[in-house]
Amino acid sequence: MKRVLRWIGIVFGVLVGLVVLAVAGVYAVTEARINRTYDIRVEEVPIPTDADAIAYGERLMKTRGCVDCHGQNLGGRVFLESPTAGRLVATNLTAGRNGIGSYYTVADYVRAIRHGVGPDGKPLLFMPAHEYYFLSDADLGAMIAYLKSAPPVDSDLPPSQVALPIRILYLLTGQVALLPAEWVDHDAPRPTPPAPSVTAAYGQYLAVTCIGCHGPGLSGGPIPGVPADWPPAPNLTPGGRLSQWSEDDFIRVMRTGVTPDGKQIANRYMPWQALGQMTDDELKAIWLYLRSLPAKPTGNR
């Protein structure tokens, strides 16, 4: 009996040792990637100064999802806190206390927004640059013009903390947007953006904002990294319910969050209040693009 107990003790001890080693390994690998430095050749982007462009930049903060993480007033916020993810904090983008606006140069903005890399060359955590890499010079320039003139907001935010489960998920699945800088080809020639017009091509350019939740193929499914009580993202391809909707139905959902069967979508899950500030033409272009997609079964992302 004593011998059996001793063996159980040894096996248990070895298991605990292995777990400790595995955890240390996960931290070592992820910290090395978090502390890697990138040498980015930053493109020059002209910054407009006219009021129309600045107002357009302000609207882009909403329709491109920036306010979703950085807060309605861009003063920064804790946008996700959960045992799986840890605490994710988006920076104060204004020139107020603890904001970056007072010292960021145009090159710093371009490096952060298109490449996901900070002024110190380190990758920004969870800043979805892979979705913003494609932004045209005109759009990025308008955004920067607005950011440089945004009303200052003071903030006092805790630092981000990346929990163990999301580090493991990041390493195992390769799908967690912990370090989007890794998903950007920093040396590739700039893609040519489509002209703003009611075309599927321009709709695709706009719908990049939707893939973080609805999946790269827009076929929906569980959203990686969000708390477990979130609903899955619906399938936006003709394989989903949208195949029975009209263009008007789609625009109504985007503007009011109310679906054709009368369900109210919570703005917390799908930020329609911000996304719904797209113009009719922009929403029509997205609708054209969604209709042009192959019908996919829900959830293959």
Given the rule CB under 6 A, which residues bind ligand HEC?
Answer: 64-66, 68-70, 79, 88, 90-91, 93, 100, 109, 112-113, 118, 124-128, 132, 143, 160, 207, 209-210, 212-214, 231, 233-234, 236, 240-241, 250, 253, 259, 265-266, 269-271, 275, 286
Q: Min. distance of Cβ 100 from ligand HEC in angstroms? A: 5
Q: Min. distance of Cβ 91 from ligand HEC in angstroms? A: 4
Would you say 79 or 183 has its CB closer to ligand HEC?
79
Distance of CA 145 to the CA centre of its chain: 21
Would you say 121 or 231 has its CB closer to ligand HEC?
231
Q: Min. distance of Cβ 49 from ligand HEC in angstroms? A: 18
d(CA 208, CA 141): 18
Would you say 8 or 244 has its CB closer to ligand HEC?
244
- The candidate with the shortest Cα–Cα distance to 212, out of 230, 228, 204, 224, is 224
Would you say 100 or 293 has its CB closer to ligand HEC?
100
Would you say 88 or 166 has its CB closer to ligand HEC?
88
| Encoded amino acid at 57, one letter | G
Per-residue burial over 202-232, b = 16 or more CB atoms within 10 Å of its CB, e = otherwise: bbbbbbbbbbbbbbebbbbbebbbbeeeeeb
Q: Min. distance of Cβ 163 from ligand HEC in angstroms? A: 14
Compute how many other C-beta atoms are within 10 angstroms of the C-beta atom of residue 271.
Answer: 20
Would you say 83 or 231 has its CB closer to ligand HEC?
231
Would you say 39 or 261 has its CB closer to ligand HEC?
261
CA angle 277, 100, 119 (to 5 degrees): 110
Q: Min. distance of Cβ 258 from ligand HEC in angstroms? A: 10
d(CA 296, CA 219): 6
d(CA 104, CA 183): 24
- The candidate with the shortest Cα–Cα distance to 175, out of 129, 132, 127, 224, is 224
Q: Min. distance of Cβ 123 from ligand HEC in angstroms? A: 7
For 287, the token pair is 């609708």
Asked whether 212 and 192 are in contact (CB, 8 A), the reply is no
d(CA 188, CA 137): 16
Q: Min. distance of Cβ 22 from ligand HEC in angstroms? A: 25
Compute how many other C-beta atoms are within 10 angstroms of the C-beta atom of residue 165.
Answer: 15
Q: Min. distance of Cβ 41 from ligand HEC in angstroms? A: 18
Would you say 2 or 158 has its CB closer to ligand HEC?
158
